[in-house]
Amino acid sequence: MASDEREQQALQKRLLECLKRPENLTCAECAMRLPRWASTSLGVFFCTNCSGSHRGLGVHISKVKSTTLDKWTEAQVAHMERVGNAKANAYWEANVRAGVKPGATSGRDACERFIRDKYERQLYKD
> Which CATH number characterizes residue 78's domain?
1.10.220.150
Q: Is residue 77 part of a domain?
A: yes
27 residue type, one letter? C
Contact 29, 115 (CB under 8 A): yes
Q: Rounded to a whole number, what is the distance in angstroms from the first to the last CA of the chain?
A: 46
- Residue 69: predicted pLDDT: 94
Q: Is residue 126 part of a domain?
A: no
pTM of the predicted structure, to 2 decimals: 0.94
Contact 113, 106 (CB under 8 A): no
Cβ atoms within 10 Å, residue 32: 20
* Domain, as residue range, for 55: 1-120
- Residue 78: predicted pLDDT: 98
Pairing of strands 64-66, 44-46: unpaired
Q: Is residue 125 part of a domain?
A: no
- Residue 87: predicted pLDDT: 98
- Residue 3: predicted pLDDT: 82
Domain count, the chain: 1
pLDDT along the chain (126 residues), means of 10: 87 97 97 96 97 97 97 98 98 96 92 97 96
Distance CA 37, CA 53 (A): 12
| b/e burial code for range 55-65 (CB count within 10 A of at least 16 → b) | eebeeebbbbb
- Residue 1: predicted pLDDT: 56
Strand order in the sheet with 64-66: 44-46, 37-39, 64-66
